[in-house]
Amino acid sequence: MIRFAKKSPREIDVAISEQNGVRSLHLGGSEIQSAMRINAPNELELLYTQYMMGFLLFQPAPSHILMIGLGGGSLAKFVYHQIPQTKTTVVEINQQVISAAFNHFALPEADERLQIILADGEQYLRDYSPTIDILMVDGFHDDCQSASLCSQEFYNQAYQVLNKNGMLVVNLLSQNKNLNTYLQRIKDSFQGRVVTILSGACGNLIVFAFKHSLGRLSWKILKARAKKLEEMYDLPFSDCVSRLRESTYSHHNYIEI
């Protein structure tokens, strides 16, 4: 296990472990924050990251994605290698995490399609002026979510930086005691246009929030989109649709967002 020394009060301990061909990133404890299969560094190893890419069911060709929280860079790498028409900006508060992603998790060097910024995600979003297609939020230390990324003000600002067809994608912990509070805040900011996917019985809860209503969208159309996306990206989009239906309007032939 490789450890990086703590450099300031704002930076937490970063550790790396390897087991069965998988390299994992830990932030401030034993919980796995990011993972990479060493012989497949650009694939999404963790199920919750695969589900976060479920936004493609609704926004298949984003031009700009803003990510808050880098981890090992799994999502940033996937977008960089698989969706070359998309520009990705990643904001990460911890320099040690950025260094680990570059040195141990095959994060590509920054270029015109990938920008890595060392900054506080909440502050960065507050000062952000352009609009974006997708905002992805995945900010943790050990098994705790960053409080500044769960406030009503933060979700209100998230709504503001998205373009008219934009989406917010948030990774939450389903066992967090404040989960219902966080979900209600997102619903309040996005006028109730929210759907969720549960990753396992006690796992991550992925939240999709929409800037504007998509109206009624049939499950048949979503299933067809899922099959097409699976051929393109080899991710479980059909499972995403099934889990969306389980958590929303399973008795209807459509989803209304």
Distance CA 211, CA 223 (A): 23
- Within 10 Å of residue 14's Cβ, how many Cβ atoms? 25
CB 185 within 8 A of CB 198: no
Query: What is the token pair recorded at 217?
Result: 């969208």
Residue 15 covered by a domain: no
CB 25 within 8 A of CB 105: yes
Number of domains making up the chain? 1
Residue 10 — very low, low, confident or very high, per pLDDT cuts 50/70/90? low
Residue 10 covered by a domain: no
Distance CA 95, CA 101 (A): 10
The secondary structure of 141-205 as a DSSP string is ETTEE-GGGSSHHHHHHHHHHEEEEEEEEEEEETT-TTHHHHHHHHHHHTTT-EEEEEETTTTEE
Collect all residues with Cβ–Cβ distance below 8 Å to 24 and sequence separation of at least 6: 16, 17, 18, 32, 33, 34, 35, 36, 72
CB 165 within 8 A of CB 52: no
Residue 2 — very low, low, confident or very high, per pLDDT cuts 50/70/90? very low
Residue 117 covered by a domain: yes
* Per-residue model confidence (pLDDT) at position 27: 87
Residue 217 covered by a domain: yes
Residue 143 covered by a domain: yes
Domain range enclosing 188? 41-256
Residue 193 Ramachandran class (φ > 0 left, ψ -120 to 50 alpha, else beta): beta
Residue 120 covered by a domain: yes
Mind listing the pLDDT tens digit for each residue in 72-105?
999 999 999 999 999 999 999 999 999 999 999 9
Mind listing the pLDDT tens digit for each residue in 174-230?
888 999 999 999 999 999 999 999 987 668 999 999 999 988 889 999 999 999 999
Nearest residue to 80 (alpha-carbon basis) of 40, 118, 113:
113
Residue 35 covered by a domain: no
Three-state DSSP class for residue 115 = strand
Distance CA 100, CA 103 (A): 5
Q: Which residues are catalytic?
A: 138
How big is the CA angle at 124 (ends 211 and 180), to the nearest 5 degrees?
50
Q: At what angle do helices 152-161 and 179-189 cross, to 10 degrees?
A: 40
19 forms beta bridges with 22
Mind listing the pLDDT tens digit for each residue in 136-187?
999 876 567 788 999 999 999 999 999 999 999 999 998 889 999 999 999 9
Residue 20 covered by a domain: no
pTM for this entry: 0.92
CB 1 within 8 A of CB 25: no
Tokens 């924050």 correspond to: 33
Distance CA 243, CA 219 (A): 12
* CATH code where residue 224 lies: 3.40.50.150
